[in-house]
Amino acid sequence: MGSYLFSVVLTIHVLVGLAVIGLVLMQHGKGADAGAAFGGGGGGASGSVFGSSGSANFLSRTTAVLAATFFVTSLGLAYLSSNTSNRETSVMEGAATSTAPAAVETERSVEPLPADDSKARDIPK
């Protein structure tokens, strides 16, 4: 049940996030409205679907509702991920404990350097 609910909330969260991005990109800044009032910037605001001031109110209210929904889904995802029924275990806890054989030390014969090839006499003391 928890995994299913987490997947549903995560899907809603991603869709709301994309919708917020789209609505923010659709909105005009304050500078664009001032430029449109003097006849610049191409088409005027009077030809928009929502009217001259209706689009700003509709888009800003919709953005606010979606932002609040995004915030609530963020809190929901944090709550659902912190209260998981599955106890997370370390990777090392599941590793097999095997004892490695002790290293066997072998005596190696060290041959001394011949006296005439020794470079020790070249080092100043």
Are 72 and 22 in contact, with CB atoms under 8 Å apart?
A: no
CA angle 114, 118, 122 (to 5 degrees): 160
The pLDDT score that the predictor gives to residue 72 is 96
Q: What does pTM read for this prediction?
A: 0.51
- The pLDDT value recorded for residue 67 is 95
pLDDT tens for each residue of 70-79:
999 999 999 9
Q: Name which of 1-5, 8-12, 68-72, 88-92 the model is least confident about.
A: 88-92
Tokens 């209210």 belong to: 61
Q: What pLDDT is recorded for position 73?
A: 96
Give the residue, 122 or 107, on which the prediction is more confident.
122
**107 burial via Cβ count (<10 Å: 0-12, 13-18, 19+):** exposed
Mean pLDDT of 60-70: 94
% of the chain exceeding 70 in pLDDT:
48
> Which is more confidently placed, 109 or 5?
5
The predicted-structure confidence for 26-55, as pLDDT tens digits, reads as follows 887 766 555 555 555 555 555 555 555 566
